[in-house]
Amino acid sequence: MHSKLSAHAIYLTKLDHERLTNLVQQEQPADMSDLIEVLKQELKHAHLVDSYAVLPDVITMNSRLKLRATTNDERYFTLVYPSEANEARERVSVLTPMGIAVLGCRLGDQVRWSTPEGPTSYWIEAVLHQPEAAGDWVS
């Protein structure tokens, strides 16, 4: 198990990598520049795999997951592209600290990110749905 703060590389499907690379190359609001830079670094160091070969416990785009904090606080959400984000529907953008933290991590990994209240830490407790594991290799 490892923390997103450690120097490990994430796992991305080639399709997610291509789409995320296109996303960070688009013009984004100035307040997103720090997150864009973090995502660019993640993309640069990612291990790329074919969609049909990605392990079922890896968080890919459109995966639904469950996080648990040491305080037993739980979070359920689906990792999505910014245009699909909707907090009320538990759809978290990859261009948020939490979204970047979980991208490409695996079941059991510890992920950390900053919040206005300070740093927070969660464990990836479950991958409830991964599109690739369900046979959806192109959406």
pLDDT, averaged in runs of 10, over the chain (139 residues)? 53 97 88 90 95 96 96 95 95 96 96 91 97 80
* Model confidence pTM above 0.85: yes
What CATH number should be reported for the domain holding residue 73? 3.10.50.30
Residue 81 lies in a domain: yes
> Could you report the per-residue pLDDT of 91-101, keeping only the tens digit for each?
999 999 999 99
Residue 3 lies in a domain: no
State residue 8's pLDDT score: 63
60, 13 contact by CB (below 8 A): yes
Place of tokens 């037993």: 72
Residue 101 lies in a domain: yes
What is the number of structural domains in the chain?
1
State residue 31's pLDDT score: 81
B/e letters for 94-127, b = 16+ CB within 10 Å, e = fewer, are bbbbbbbbbbbbbbebbbebeeeeeebbbbbbbb
62, 83 contact by CB (below 8 A): no
Domain range for residue 88?
A: 11-129
